[in-house]
Amino acid sequence: MTDILIDKLRNSDADDDWKKGLNIPAKDTRTQTEDVTNTKGLEWEDFNLKRDLLKGIFEAGYEKPSPIQEESIPIALAGRDILARAKNGTGKTAAFVIPALEKINPKVSKIQCLILVPTRELAMQTSQVCKILGKHLGVNVMVTTGGTGLRDDIVRLQDAVHIVVGTPGRILDLASKQVADLSECPMFIMDEADKLLSPEFTPVIEQLLQFHPKDRQVMLFSATFPISVKAFSDNNMRDPYEINLMDELTLRGITQYYAYVEERQKVHCLNTLFSKLQINQSIIFCNSTNRVELLAKKITELGYSCFYSHAKMPQAARNRVFHDFRNGVCRNLVCSDLLTRGIDIQAVNVVINFDFPKNAETYLHRIGRSGRYGHLGLAINLINWDDRFNLYNIERELGTEIHPIPAEIPKNLYVYENPETIPRPISTFKPVPIGQKQLPMPQTSQQQQVPQQPQPQQPQQAQEQQKQAQQELQQQQAQPAAQQGQPRSGHQNDWHGQNRQGYQQNRNMHQGNRGGYGGSHRGGRGRGGYQNQGQRHQNYGAPQQRGPRQQQTA
């Protein structure tokens, strides 16, 4: 008996020693709401996880498990199927990644876990979480999505891969070609399950399940569960354990306002918000890809740093925008509903619905991009006359109240005292040299910069590539614009917000009510439908005023 007690004391001393050697980031001192603090008081050690996995958890800055993690991790480790529903930004990703990493055997060179997500950006983010948490385990993680070369995926699958994160179409393509062997994959995980079980994805999901063994473990995580999820669970899950932490739908830390403005006054209202709000980073949502590009152009003309992203952009450009925005290169991001699902950017404290969504589900996921992990956030909705019924229906379905925007918004509702302490992700993205490929996004304005975070030192090879790219950019700027195939110089300067004369003309034009976006510019792609033919646009976005091209939705 005495020997057993001595061994326990030695083990406890060893536990303290391995914790002291960890590279734990600084503690996040921001206040948190009950969405993540209302826990049972469990610690990570209570789950009996591998020590190497615990090292990755602590070094990632995960201090204590959130409610959804407390509920789901023990059930997942027991091997049961799970239907888990929790709010946006409360730790659902780690709730399924941690048990998956615990159950994987690195010595077996087989795919042991498949994680499906609806978007490419979310796939990259989820794979990064897997790599960070499992960096001491020797687990190989592979991310595969559409828009990239299939040959690269085939080559990578020749080596040992334990976790595959991807979108359904690409995974099905690899499995059908017998490149990805899922016959011994015991874990099938779906994040944002409501989106993956929509009519566009359901047939692909059903086919993918046929490649898995019959005794697989299926886990579904989402913030909303429509009827289609129940039909799927009845047909493909065995006595699933249901977790529902949605006592209310909206996050408690997000303050919601609406501003009633006419369509042509929206840009002016947005400019006012930029000047009055203390924005660390913001995401601005539009309902169509065309409006995304035009609004991003207008914001840069007003002198604010801005990127944009939508589904019709090349994948390399989308990757560049996503990684740069996460790392604080730019303050504002204009996008379609492409980035409403699962994207976790801790520094975003303001979300603006430039175009109000048409249903409660989209609205819930949009405003969930701020106030991540129980922190504070602000959601502002620009409403016109046509949106009044959607506003009423969304308030009724979500059981929430969206208040009229006051003249002054208290800063304690969304402003952080020390924004420089907000955790930033570790970037592993290697930018493409500018001389090789031009990406269709606006550059950062020199007039408004995000407070830069200390970045990790780059390898020598990456630094040389960056110097080479800067030299090529200087050479291009020294050449005449006509030789580079660029638009006229005035238009190019207006795009980057550097031509003060063009900026003042746009302000005067806007004050003269020449149209919601300023009716005189030709658009980023030079289409005739965007060109002002001497008529004043009274309502931007109406199909009859946009030339022969029909209005598109994101």
Is it true that domain 23-244 has CATH number 3.40.50.300?
Answer: yes
pLDDT in tens, 67-102: 999 999 999 999 999 999 988 888 899 999 999 999
pLDDT at res. 10: 46
Say whether 254-413 and 23-244 share the same fold.
yes
CATH superfamily membership of 254-413: P-loop containing nucleotide triphosphate hydrolases (3.40.50.300)
| Direct distance between the N- and C-terminal alpha carbons of the chain, in angstroms, rounded to an integer | 68
One digit per residue, pLDDT tens: the chain, 554 residues? 445 544 544 445 455 577 777 888 877 777 777 778 888 999 999 999 999 999 999 999 898 999 999 999 999 999 999 999 988 888 899 999 999 999 999 999 999 999 999 998 899 999 999 999 999 999 999 999 988 888 899 999 999 999 999 999 999 999 999 999 999 999 999 998 988 998 889 999 999 999 999 999 999 998 888 877 888 999 999 999 999 988 777 667 889 999 999 999 999 999 999 999 999 999 999 999 999 999 999 999 999 999 999 989 998 898 899 889 988 899 999 999 888 886 788 889 999 999 999 998 899 889 988 887 778 899 999 999 999 999 999 999 888 889 999 999 988 888 866 555 555 554 444 444 433 333 444 443 333 344 433 333 444 554 565 556 555 555 554 444 333 333 333 333 333 333 334 333 443 433 443 333 333 333 333 333 333 333 333 333 333 333 444 444 43
Residue 63 CA to residue 332 CA, distance in Å, equals 30
pLDDT at res. 412: 84
Helix axes 388-398 and 360-367, enclosed angle (nearest 10): 80
pLDDT in tens, 180-198: 999 999 999 999 898 899 8
Residue 15 CA to residue 436 CA, distance in Å, equals 50
Measured torsion, CA atoms of residues 464, 470, 473, 477, in degrees rounded to the nearest 10: -150
pLDDT at res. 496: 33
What is the pTM (predicted TM-score) of this model? 0.70
Task: Starting at the earlier edge strand, list the strands of the sheet with 332-335.
Answer: 306-309, 332-335, 281-285, 348-353, 377-383, 254-260, 403-404
Domain extent listing, the chain: 23-244, 254-413
